[in-house]
Amino acid sequence: MVPPTPQVTSWLLPSSARAPGLRGSFFSTDLTVSNTGSAAAAFTLKFLGNNRDGRTGTEKSFTLDRGQSVTYPDVLDSVFGLSEGFGAIRITSATPTLTVMSQTSTSVASGGTYGQGVPAAAASDLIVSGLPQSIGGVREDTAFRTNLILANPGEDPLDVEVKPLRRFANRRTVIPGSYKSRTSPFLQVSRPAFPDCFVRW
């Protein structure tokens, strides 16, 4: 008898970085994987990169004992050996009881770090055709900007329509496993034009 193929669970971390920012900042991402199950879990990390087909990205496999957590500091360097880069990371495992969290931050002159925590998205968190989602608090003016990140975890290109409320639409094609970052999703519009709106896609 042929044993059944184990069901694979995937998570998508849409953003990770090892890159310089404004005013001398340098952002890096720490990735934490926790095994909340009762048995050891094998899992694979795959760096999908940005603006390219991520299906050929570098993969690294690990095993995590039950009830254990592991943090990969500066994951793009420590796991994937990158001196600089940014993009999505896909996590796959036959064990569905993993939780995946990231923190992208930069050090500050006064000490400590400044950044944000981003959880990896499970399949139930993804946006699917016919079920648009919205993001509030989008702002683009002389004092603030909003970066839009699109990540495709699938095997086929996706057309994504990004629509500021009551304005106009921009269509983006995201190739399989790809990551796209837009400094401003509002093309051909001056920065003060969209204070405090929301975006639907």
The ranges of the chain with pLDDT < 70 are 1-5, 165-201
Strand partners, 69: 34
Q: What are phi and psi of 22, to 5 degrees?
A: -75, 155
Give me 134's structure tokens.
Answer: 């919205």
Sequence-distant contacts of 167-175: CB under 8 A, at least 24 apart: 167/194, 167/197, 174/150, 175/52, 175/53
pLDDT in tens, 23-78: 888 999 999 999 999 999 999 999 998 888 888 899 999 999 999 999 999 999 99
Q: Which CATH superfamily is domain 9-124 in?
A: TM1070-like (2.60.290.11)
Domain boundary assignment for the chain: 9-124, 127-200
